[in-house]
C-alpha cells in the first residue's frame, strides 16, 4: 500500500518499558546535590518564600546529611546564616563561624558517604550583602576580596570540606584559591567554579533564605542575562585557572549557556536549579495550575539533557526517592 509513513517514530514511544529502553538521558541520585542553609540558633526556621525548605541548625544538620547520604545523593552544599555581620565578612574566615562549624558537623555525619561542599562567598557574612569587600568609592574591590577568599578557603578546607563552591564571581578567584589551598597542604580539595553566574531575578527567595542585607545589585560582577558567549568565556578562564568543575547558574533560563559550556568543557559541568525556579513550581502546583511531580521531573531532565553532569536542587532528596522507586521523570 502507498501513502503511509515509511518510518513510524511512535513505535519508540509505545509503552513505558519501551520509553525507558530508548531514553537518551537519565538521572541517578548521585547526580543530585542538596543545598542546605545552616543558621545559628536552637530550632530550624521555615523559609517563607521557599515552601518546604528550612534553615537548619547545627543540631538538626546531622539528620539532614544522613538522610541525603542514605538517599544516595552526590553531596550537600552548605550555606551559613550568621547572627553577626560586618563590612569585612570576618565570620567567613573564623574557624568558629557558623559555616565552618557546619562543615565540621556535616563531615562527621557524612563519614565519607557523600561530599561535603561549602559555599565560598562573602555575601552571607557582610553587612552590606555584597560578595566582596567594598572600596572607598562603594564598589566591590576585586583583589582585596581575593585575599579574603584565600583565607576563607583554607578555613573551610581545615574544617573538612571536600569541595569549595566559588560563587563570588571575582576575576581570578579560582587561581587565588587554588594556590592558597596548595600552599596550605590542601591540594586534594576540589574547586567548583560558579563560572556562568548571571545577575538574575530568580535568586529572590535565596536572599530570604540567607537573610541577605544587600542594597543595590550585583550587576558589576555577575553576568548580564543578555550574554551567552560571555558565560562560555568565563568557564574557559576558570578551567584554565584550575577549576575541577564549572557551573552555570541559574539553570532553567540559561540552558543555552549550559549546552555551550558542556560542549567545550574538559571538566564536569554542573547547574544550579535556583530558589526562584523552585518557588515558581511549588507555588503554581499549590494552586493546582500544574502537575507538581511532572514539572519537577521535566525541569531536571531538561537540565540534564542540556549538558549538566550534576544538578544542585532543593528537591534532591525527594527526587532521589522517586528514582529509587523506578519512577520516570517528566
Catalytic residue of the set 31, 249, 260, 304 = 249
* Residue 249 annotated among the catalytic residues of the structure: yes
Spatial neighbors of 171 by CB under 8 A, at least 6 apart, are 142
* Residue 184 annotated among the catalytic residues of the structure: no
- Give the three cell numbers for residue 309: 553532569
User: Alpha-carbon distance 327 to 324, whole Å?
Assistant: 8
29 DSSP assignment: G
Q: Where are the alpha helices (DSSP H) in 89-192?
A: 98-110, 142-159, 173-183
Catalytic residue of the set 31, 85, 128, 197 = 197
Instruction: Please state, in angstroms and as integers, the Cα–Cα distance from residue 276 to each residue in 81, 103, 208, following that order.
Output: 19, 26, 11
- Give the three cell numbers for residue 148: 579574603
Q: How far apart are the first and last CA of the chain?
A: 37
Residue 23: phi and psi, rounded to 5, are: -60, 135
Smallest Cα–Cα separation from 248: which of 258, 256, 239, 238?
258
Active site residues: 197, 249
Amino acid at each position: 500500500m502507498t501513502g503511509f509513513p515509511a518510518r513510524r517514530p511512535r513505535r519508540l514511544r509505545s509503552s513505558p518499558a519501551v520509553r525507558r529502553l530508548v531514553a537518551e538521558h537519565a538521572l541517578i541520585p548521585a547526580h543530585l546535590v542538596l543545598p542546605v542553609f545552616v543558621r545559628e540558633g536552637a530550632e530550624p526556621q521555615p523559609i517563607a518564600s521557599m515552601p518546604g525548605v528550612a534553615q537548619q541548625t547545627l543540631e538538626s544538620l546531622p539528620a539532614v546529611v544522613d538522610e541525603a547520604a542514605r538517599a544516595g545523593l552526590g553531596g550537600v552544599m552548605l550555606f551559613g546564616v550568621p547572627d553577626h555581620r560586618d563590612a569585612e565578612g570576618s565570620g567567613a574566615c573564623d574557624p568558629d563561624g557558623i559555616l565552618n562549624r557546619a562543615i565540621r558537623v556535616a563531615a562527621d555525619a557524612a563519614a565519607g558517604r557523600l561530599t561535603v561542599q561549602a559555599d565560598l562567598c562573602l555575601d552571607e557574612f557582610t553587612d552590606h550583602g555584597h560578595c566582596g569587600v567594598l572600596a572607598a568609592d562603594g564598589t566591590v574591590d576585586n583583589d582585596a576580596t581575593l585575599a579574603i577568599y584565600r583565607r576563607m578557603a583554607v578555613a573551610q578546607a581545615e574544617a573538612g570540606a571536600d569541595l569549595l563552591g566559588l560563587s563570588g564571581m571575582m576575576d581570578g578567584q579560582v587561581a587565588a584559591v587554588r594556590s592558597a589551598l596548595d600552599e596550605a597542604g590542601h591540594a586534594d580539595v576540589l574547586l567548583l567554579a560558579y563560572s556562568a553566574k548571571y545577575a538574575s531575578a530568580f535568586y529572590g527567595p535565596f536572599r530570604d533564605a540567607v537573610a541577605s542585607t544587600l542594597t543595590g545589585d550585583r550587576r558589576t560582577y555577575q553576568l548580564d542575562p543578555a550574554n551567552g558567549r560571555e558565560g562560555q568565556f568565563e568557564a574557559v578562564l576558570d578551567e584554565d585557572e584550575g577549576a575541577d568543575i564549572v557551573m552555570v547558574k541559574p539553570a532553567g533560563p540559561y540552558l543555552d549557556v549550559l549546552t555551550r559550556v558542556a560542549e567545550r568543557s574538559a571538566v564536569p559541568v554542573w547547574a544550579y536549579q535556583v530558589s526562584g525556579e523552585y518557588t515558581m513550581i511549588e507555588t503554581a502546583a499549590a494552586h493546582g495550575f500544574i502537575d507538581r511531580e511532572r514539572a519537577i521531573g521535566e525541569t531536571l531532565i531538561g537540565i540534564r539533557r542540556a549538558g549538566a553532569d550534576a544538578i544542585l536542587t532543593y528537591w534532591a532528596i525527594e527526587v532521589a526517592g522517586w528514582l529509587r522507586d523506578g519512577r520516570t521523570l517528566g
